[in-house]
Homo-oligomer: A and B are copies of this chain.
Amino acid sequence: MALILGIDPGSRKTGFGIINVNGSHHDYVTSGVIRLPIEQELPERIKVLVSSIQEIIALHCPQQVSIEQVFMASNAGSALKLGQARGAAIAACVSNDLEVAEYSARQIKQAVVGTGAAKKEQVQHMVKILLKLPAMPQEDAADALAAAICHAHTSASLVNLAGVSRIRRGRLR
């Protein structure tokens, strides 16, 4: 058994989702969206993001983190904002000694929908099916859960979860 935290960072909203992986079986644990106070200055927004992620980690004790790799942004301004949120989210995880794996949007879509060119709604739909959810998860939460599922599907990461990360965390789950 291993808990994987998926994160879908954004400068306004950051999705998160945790799944429990037991062999080829995945169970939904929790998911949601952290809304940043956009009327406030950046340090305050980052504080909300970091403390929210730290709360989620303290509450659920995930062993690994999966986050979408970003290569493109429409312009330099939005890339900077997205980068700031992404860097802060990763900082919150690594300061809790969590390993963070990065996957491209294409890899995540491929793992969840079976095609790297899938649309947002297809990802939401397949996340609902794969995790047997009663309703469609919110878009950012679905992307975060999809990142977690993608990490679970990566065999190398599962070998890792079975060995290294357990020792790193100093306890068995």
Contact = CB atoms under 8 A, between A and B. Distances in A.
Interface of A: 41-43, 46-47, 49-51, 54, 70-95, 99-102
A42 B90 contact: yes
A46 B94 contact: yes
A74 B47 CA distance: 28
A60 to B, nearest CB: 19
A162 to B, nearest CB: 20
A80 B77 contact: no
Contact of A91 (B71, B79, B87): B87
A43 B74 CA distance: 24
A50 B50 CA distance: 13
Contacts of A102: 41-43
